[in-house]
Structure 1
Amino acid sequence: MNHTMNILLVDDHALFREGFKLMLQRCWTMPLHVVEAATAEIGLEAAAHTRFDVIFLDMGLPGLGGIEGLCAFRQAQPEAGLVVLSATEGTQAIRQALRYGAQGYIPKSADSATLREALQRILDGEIYEPPPAMPGGEGGEIEAILTPRQIEVLAELCAGRTNREIGAHLTMGDDTVRAHVTALLKRLGVRSRTEAALLAKRRGWF
């Protein structure tokens, strides 16, 4: 029998909690038990009586919110995967949350694929942070993130070509192709060629 994963969702908007819970249930196959809390104080009370695998915490809560609330949850359940939910996607906010104990940072604009990836990484003991903020609307402008050559390589990855095929098509050596692939994966905040291609398609770049 699969282990039921205990999740604490702390957010002061009931509609968001309901939608987020549905997204969790759709993108994760493991049985989930989701406890909801509208304030940090209610969430901490739940954390005092139940061990949670993952805690999703809104940083904009009234009362005990922000970094103070984050630290309180980290102290209450040091073994839990503590994930910040926020409408803010700036690098400074992300770095600050991770510095004070968050294991992940998920923008509230994230889709189910991003949520699934983040949750898997966190359960694997890794840190999750979103790709660099991308200006220019919903999809973001690829030119603001990657160099022209990296964009060409990414297009080849999306077409399913190997490094050797990319090199032949773009007139580059194998080492140069590998360097471009490594660099663009880092810039996009993903770990594999497949994740890069999926991200590019989600954002409508190709």
Structure 2
Amino acid sequence: MYTFLIADDHPLFRDAIKQVVDERWPDATIIEVSTLEEAREQAIENDDLDIVLLDLNMPGAEGFSGLLGIRNAAPVLPVVIVSAEESPDVIQRALTCGALGFIPKSSSKERIGDAVHAVLLGKTFVPPELAEAIEEKRRVDDGLRERAALLTPAEVGVLELLTLGKPNKIIAYELDIKESTVKAHISAILRKLGVHSRTQAVLMAKTLDFG
């Protein structure tokens, strides 16, 4: 039968997830951990694990580091994020980082059970009511990446320094180029990214994880 790893630092929520698993899979083995380090150790050492239910914002996690750490430790082990976050951006990023499912903590017990069941069958689960917004976010991101791919290495270097808030004069100094060259690169960056200000370019760059 299945072996579940529930990783959440809140005992009450671990109990809630455990109840869902007990009701849906009464013969399952359930392992509970409250830290990322314990979760990672289980992912590495426990060959019986079938699925990990992971809180995205456990202490010690920065962004998606907890998810990435487990994915790197056990690449074939299915991981489902269970989080209070519900934005399409966060869900899309979690899927991009290797999660096979995303369950908002506001979900009903039935929804949680259905989501886990889908992942155990090899499917990907996202909240149906958010699926369209997530797909739109993916299309937008793909479009941004296509535009960013038009940038030359020199322009990427300038854009990375722009995201750090550095003025043209400092960028010129650090890249050992003329300030007029920096201005020319910025003009090309704005044109290729389809934006009208360096602020918009910086926002787009941060979306694409430049810098």
Shorter-chain TM-score: which interval?
0.5 to 0.7
Name 2:11's counterpart in structure 1: 14
**1:100-115 → structure 2 map (5 Å cutoff):** 100-115=97-112
Q: Which runs of 4+ in 1 moved over 2 A?
A: none
**1:6-45 → structure 2 map (5 Å cutoff):** 6-29=3-26, 31-45=27-41
Name 1:66's counterpart in structure 2: 63
CA distance in 1 between counterparts of 2:107 and 2:99 reads 17
Deviation at 1:65, TM superposition (A): 4.7
Q: Secondary structure at the match of 1:89?
A: coil
Question: What percent identity do the matched residue pairs reach?
Answer: 34
Q: Is the 8 A contact 1:28 1:116 kept in 2?
A: no
Q: Is the 8 A contact 1:91 1:132 kept in 2?
A: no
List gaps (5 residues or longer) in structure 2. Answer: 131-211
Deviation at 1:66, TM superposition (A): 3.3
List gaps (5 residues or longer) in structure 1. Answer: 134-206
Q: Which of these residues, 128, 132, 139, is aligned with residue 131 of structure 1?
A: 128
**1:130-169 → structure 2 map (5 Å cutoff):** 130-133=127-130
Q: What residue identity is the alignment partner of 2:34? A: A
Structure 1 residue 76 corresponds to structure 2 residue 46: no
Q: What residue identity is the alignment partner of 1:9? A: I
What RMSD over aligned residues (CA atoms) do the two structures have, in Å? 1.7
Q: Secondary structure at the match of 2:16?
A: helix
Deviation at 1:57, TM superposition (A): 0.5
Q: Which of these residues, 42, 46, 49, is aligned with residue 45 of structure 2?
A: 49
Q: Is the 8 A contact 1:27 1:113 kept in 2?
A: no
CA distance in 1 between counterparts of 2:20 and 2:120 reads 17
Q: What residue identity is the alignment partner of 1:116? A: G
Higher radius of gyration, 1 or 2: 2
Q: Secondary structure at the match of 2:80?
A: strand
Name 1:196's counterpart in structure 2: none
Count of paired positions:
130
Name 2:83's counterpart in structure 1: 86
TM-score normalised by the chain length of structure 2: 0.58
Name 2:165's counterpart in structure 1: none
Q: Is the 8 A contact 2:20 2:113 kept in 1?
A: no
Q: Secondary structure at the match of 1:9?
A: strand
Q: Is the 8 A contact 1:53 1:80 kept in 2?
A: yes
CA distance in 2 between counterparts of 1:132 and 1:95 reads 14
